[in-house]
Structure 1
Amino acid sequence: MSKFKFKKNENTPEVSTASLPDIVFMLLFFFMTVTVMKDDSLKVVNELPNATEIKKLEKKDRVITLYIGKPTKPFDQILGEYPKIQIDDRFVGVEEVGSRILEAINEKPEHLRDFITISLKVDKKAAMGLIDDVKEELRKINALKINYTTYEGDIYNNLE
């Protein structure tokens, strides 16, 4: 004789969905704020060299990136197989590098313009003469903060 009797006919209560829209919008805003859009579409082959002494750039809003390498498959038939310079999504000649970099610097907020770093992402098979020409053009416009982007690793892997 048990004192407690369980009711087996009683239905279970329904799950409240009142807070579901709040959760969905909270997740939506989270992903909208955290997601970073890709800036440039790479049009050159860019196999970066290895280096042992590297330092990470902390403030990406102060960086202008220059890519140097052979054009990728759709562009190599038009432009040839020699290394080209890409700034943003455009191919430029060596003589245009200074003016394009000045345009990119002027697009940045005024308080950041003195702290701009030019990041060179150079394919490890690119000719050093082209890199010297680019550096000479950067000197002409007084863009003296230059960074070479590399992978961390054994430098002897660059000899391949």
Structure 2
Amino acid sequence: MSKFKKKKSGDLPAISTASLPDIVFMLLFFFMVATVMRQNTLKIENRLPAANQVEKLAKRNLLMYIYAGKPSSSYKQYGSLSRIQLNDKFAGVDEIKAFIAAERAAKREEEVPFLTTVLSVDKETNMGLVSDIKQELREVNALKINYKTRKGDALQGVSDN
């Protein structure tokens, strides 16, 4: 008489990979939506001044950036004097009003009072250019201004003359 044995296996069943492509595409779309791409390509030198009382701004979507400084080495054809950069192009002081109006138009109406203008100014930039920028901002009632700096000792390198 033959003996029949039951096969006892403790093996786990194979994991189904049928839903794996769905999960991969869901993660892909999540990261595509959640990732913030760099908004502007700097065409100017932007060595920021140091400050010891630095804090980050919370809502980055309510910030309008105005850059000022000498054109970088790739853009020397624009001269060696300090220039203003709005978004991805060089601009004159007279174009600031239109820039602020366009930024306000792109935001929802309830966000407009909370918009802040960030001045990212190279430490070698002439203060006259900064004053001109601030004067244009006053004329369009963009009075919330923040200066972009790097963290460090503000008095380092300053002599006691």
CA-to-aligned-CA distance 1:115-159 (integer Å, 9 cap, x gap)? 111000011111111101111111111111100011111113465
Q: Matched residues in 1 for 2:144 and 2:45: separation? A: 24
Q: Matched residues in 2 for 1:130 and 1:30: separation? A: 43
Stretches of structure 2 that go unaligned for 5 or more consecutive residues are none
Structure 2 partner of 1:128: 127
Structure 1 partner of 2:137: 138
Structure 2 partner of 1:51: 51
Matched, 1:100 2:99: yes
Q: Spell out the pairing of 1:67-78 with structure 2 (5 A cutoff).
A: 67-77=67-77
Q: Matched residues in 1 for 2:108 and 2:45: separation? A: 31
Matched, 1:27 2:27: yes
Q: How many angstroms does 1:52 deviate by?
A: 0.9
One-letter amino acid of the counterpart of residue 124, structure 2:
K
Question: 1:65, 1:87 within 8 Å by CA — same for their partners in 2?
Answer: yes
Calculate the aligned-residue CA RMSD, in Å.
2.7
Question: 1:50, 1:158 within 8 Å by CA — same for their partners in 2?
Answer: no
CA-to-aligned-CA distance 1:11-53 (integer Å, 9 cap, x gap)? 9975532132122123212312321111111111111111011
Query: Identity of paired residues, percent?
Result: 48
- CA gap of 1:65–1:125, structure 2 versus 1, over 3 A, is same
User: Which range moved further: 97-106 or 128-137?
Assistant: 97-106
TM-score (norm 1): 0.84
Aligned length: 155
Structure with the larger helix share: 1
Q: Matched residues in 2 for 1:153 and 1:109: separation? A: 36
